[in-house]
Amino acid sequence: MTKYAIGVDFGTESGRAVLVDVADGSIVATEVYQYANGVIDEKLPGTGIRLEPDWALQDPNDYLETFKRTIPAVMQTSGVDPADVIGIGIDFTACTVLPTKADGTPLCFLPEWRDHPHAWVKLWKHHAAQPEANKLNAIARERGEDWLDRYGGKISSEWFFPKVWQTLDEAPEVYAAADRFIEAADWVIWQLTGVETRNNCTAGYKGIWSKEHGFPPKAFLKALDPRLENVVDEKMSRDIKFLGEKAGGLTEEAAAWTGLKPGTAVAVANVDAHVSVPAATVTEAGRMVIIMGTSNCHMVLGKEEHVVPGMCGYVEDGIIPGFFGYEAGQSCVGDHFAWFIENCVPAAYVQAAAARGISIHELLEEKAAAQNVGEHGLLALDWWNGNRSVLVDVDLTGLLIGQTLATKPEDIYRALIEATAYGTRMIVETFAANGVPVDEIVATGGLPDRNKLLMQIYADVTGREVKIAAATQTPALGSAMFGAVAAGKAAGGYNTIQEASAAMARLRDEKYAPIPANTAAYDKLYAEYVILHDYFGRGANDVMKRLKTMRAEVRKG
């Protein structure tokens, strides 16, 4: 009897459910729900209340609607019997966090708090907690907090404590009214199961928690603000569940929303990037998964604990049980190309692409692919949106060097692709040099589908074979895999995520091997990249920061 699992992937603009055959991971049905309130960054829904520029909120009702609309839809499309759906898993953007009452009701659902921005969900890309992040980092450095090393030396303003602290700073009344601050990932599991759980992945990567050391000490939290001293015990939980565990069974109410059976196994929540790793066939050390989209997220497993400079973080059991899960990132990848298309492509190219019925990306890729390595004479630093790994510096900016009067748009386009590949090589080599080897790359996300040239360049630049995850919806597949693990083998699922991955995840036949002549040429260009990277990124010439400061001052007037 065929068994199925459901994975629900909560993205930035929409939620997506997939119904998956547990035997081989094939996706039987898919449904997407576009969030009614999307990203809330101008004004609060149903009010005239304007948000500050760096704000980004969401409406938790959109998460519930995702369940209510997508799961019944995939059930109906597929005609699968609810009794054959053995488990559900979810993944979420992170750190996406909200304040709730003790029973899980979001503060923003309550009339008395609905008009208060701090009562809503703070989305991962809410950047208004930068002042708190800056203070937190300064205090942590001053106190010599050793957990800083686990996060490349810097806590992001996107993460849990800066966001909670911002609420306390700016809206102590909201902070006081909140019985809980919880990741939206864990909140939706709470809604499905009626049980409050906290997953070790968001706790580890976004909440400064580790299996060995727990949360930061109270003395540190008190040093931030005396009112935060007991925030963990008052508003959070020290009871952390691990990826691969079952959070609970579907409640009657959630069964009614979804059309599934009450008691269906629900997995502990996960993060979109991290859940993609086993869905990309990786459950062992040495094979890096890169999720390539507007930005790049690099995930690699290691048997041992190592501090790698400039990574985003590492968490024991944070991706796959039994491994340290290492994460690094490039803040700007596809965004470079989108910027270029938007701002730098001449009308003649747009017309030429239209005349041939191809996209401008395709036209540029075709022209750029006709070049040999080094032929355009350009080099770029991929810092249009700062640098996460390995420099951890949001104030760095872009650079393009080597232009002549013969430089063409496709030259710059190719140079930007190459720059992001050099950035990835810097990360790969930094991992390798610090005890976390990377022998192979598995790519997933939106870019590998769209740009073969980019894949070949990544292989040539890193000198590593680049393979591609077969699933087009890797996070949702990964969530379904964890759903099958939550159900367990006895119910027709799997006992471990390794077993689930072996059965349900696949690579494409298509793969990209480094071309030795290209790799040799790129070795030379990468050496030039490293010189510029270090000169502009490590303090020899802070011109980027001075220009950015001047720009900010001029704009303030």
Q: 40: burial class by Cβ within 10 Å (0-12, 13-18, 19+)?
A: buried
Q: Which two tokens stand for residue 351?
A: 């017309």
Q: Which of 34, 105, 359, 403 binds a second copy (CB under 8 A)?
A: 403
Closest approach of a second copy to the CB of residue 10, in Å:
25
Q: Which helix (H) or strand (E) holds 440?
A: strand 440-445
- Apex CA 158: angle with CA 395 and CA 329, to 5°? 65
Q: Does residue 346 bind a second copy (CB under 8 A)? A: yes
| 54 touches a second copy (CB under 8 A) | no
Q: Is 352 in the site for a second copy (CB under 8 A)?
A: no
Position among 256, 344, 433, 520 found at the interface with a second copy (CB under 8 A)? 344
**Binding segment for a second copy among 76-84, 224-232, 447-455, 529-537 (CB under 8 A)?**
529-537
- Output 361 or 408, the one with its CB closest to a second copy: 408
Count of other CB atoms within 10 angstroms of residue 488: 16
Minimum CB separation from a second copy for residue 243, in Å?
Answer: 33
Phi, psi (degrees; rounded to nearest 5) at 153: 85, 5
8 Å CB contact between 218 and 230: yes
Binding mask 459-488 for a second copy (x = CB under 8 A): ------------------------------
Question: Which C-beta is closer to a second copy: that of 241 or that of 336?
Answer: 336
Nearer to a second copy, 143 or 361 (CB): 361
Instruction: Candidates 207, 409, 483, 492: give the one binding a second copy (CB under 8 A).
Output: 409
Is the separation of the CB atoms in 424 and 461 below 8 Å?
yes
Under a CB-based contact definition with an 8 Å cutoff, are residues 5 and 20 in contact?
yes
Given the structure tokens 């199961």, which residue do they identify?
193
- Considering the rule CB under 8 A, would residue 343 count as an interface residue with a second copy? yes
Which residue, 361 or 506, is less far from a second copy as judged by CB? 361
Q: Which region, judged by CB under 8 A, interacts with a second copy, from 39-47, 230-238, 430-438, 518-526?
A: 518-526
Q: Which amino acid is at 186?
A: D
262 binds a second copy, rule: CB under 8 A: no
Residue 453 makes contact with a second copy by CB under 8 A: no
Length of the chain as a residue count = 557
Alpha helices in 19-156 (DSSP H): 60-78, 130-143
* Residue 451 Cβ vs a second copy, minimum distance, rounded to whole Å: 19
353: left (phi over 0), alpha (psi -120 to 50) or beta: alpha
Among 111, 112, 372, 509, binds a second copy (CB under 8 A): 372
Smallest gap, in angstroms, from Cβ of residue 331 to a second copy? 10
Report the residue number, 48 or 404, with the smaller CB distance to a second copy. 404
CA distances for 143 relative to 33, 183, 223, 303, 384, angstroms: 46, 27, 9, 30, 33
399 binds a second copy (CB under 8 A): yes
Nearer Cβ to a second copy (490/554): 554
Sole binder of a second copy in the list 36, 49, 256, 350 (CB under 8 A): 350
- Cα dihedral 341/346/349/353 (nearest 10): 50
Q: Using CB under 8 A, which of 146, 149, 375, 510 touches a second copy?
A: 375
Query: At which residue do the structure tokens 């559900």 appear?
Result: 88
363 belongs to the binding site for a second copy (CB under 8 A):
no
Which of 58, 385, 430, 451 is close enough to bind a second copy by CB under 8 A? 385
State which of positions 303-342 bind a second copy (CB under 8 A). 332, 335, 339, 342
CB of 201 to a second copy, least distance (A): 28
Query: Least distance from C-beta 541 to a second copy, angstroms?
Result: 6
**Distance of alpha carbon 58 from alpha carbon 42, whole angstroms:** 12
Q: In one letter, which amino acid is 319? A: I
Cβ count near 180 (within 10 Å): 23
Q: What is the closest distance, in whole angstroms, from the C-beta atom of residue 359 to a second copy in the complex?
A: 14
Closer residue to a second copy (CB): 394 or 486: 394
Residue 125 engages a second copy in binding (rule: CB under 8 A) = no
Query: Amino acid letter at 314?
Result: Y
The least distance separating a second copy from the CB of residue 294, rounded to whole angstroms, comes to: 10
Q: In what order do the strands lie in the sheet with 296-302?
A: 313-316, 324-330, 296-302, 287-292, 440-445, 466-469, 507-512
Convert 457-474 to b/e letters by CB count within 10 Å (16 or more is b).
bbbbbbbbebbbbbbebb
Q: Among the candidate windows 154-162, 247-255, 379-387, 489-497, which touches a second copy by CB under 8 A? A: 379-387
CB of 241 vs a second copy, minimal distance in Å: 38
Measured CA distances, 415 to 169, 403, 532 (Å): 44, 11, 14
Is the bond into 390 cis (omega within 30 degrees of 0)?
yes
Nearer to a second copy, 507 or 521 (CB): 521
The span from the CA of 157 to the CA of 337, in Å, is 25
Map 270-295 to HEC letters: EEHHHHHHHHCCCCCCCEEEEEECCC
Site size toward a second copy (CB under 8 A) is 52
User: Which listed residue (259, 374, 437, 463) binds a second copy by CB under 8 A?
Assistant: 374
For residues 535 to 554, the per-residue mask of contacts with a second copy, x marking binding by CB under 8 A and - elsewhere, is xx----x-xx-xxx-xx-xx
Determine, following the binding rule CB under 8 A, whether residue 402 of this chain makes contact with a second copy: yes
Q: Rule CB under 8 A: which residues touch a second copy?
A: 332, 335, 339, 342-347, 350-351, 372-379, 384-385, 397-405, 407-409, 521, 524-525, 528, 531-532, 535-536, 541, 543-544, 546-548, 550-551, 553-555
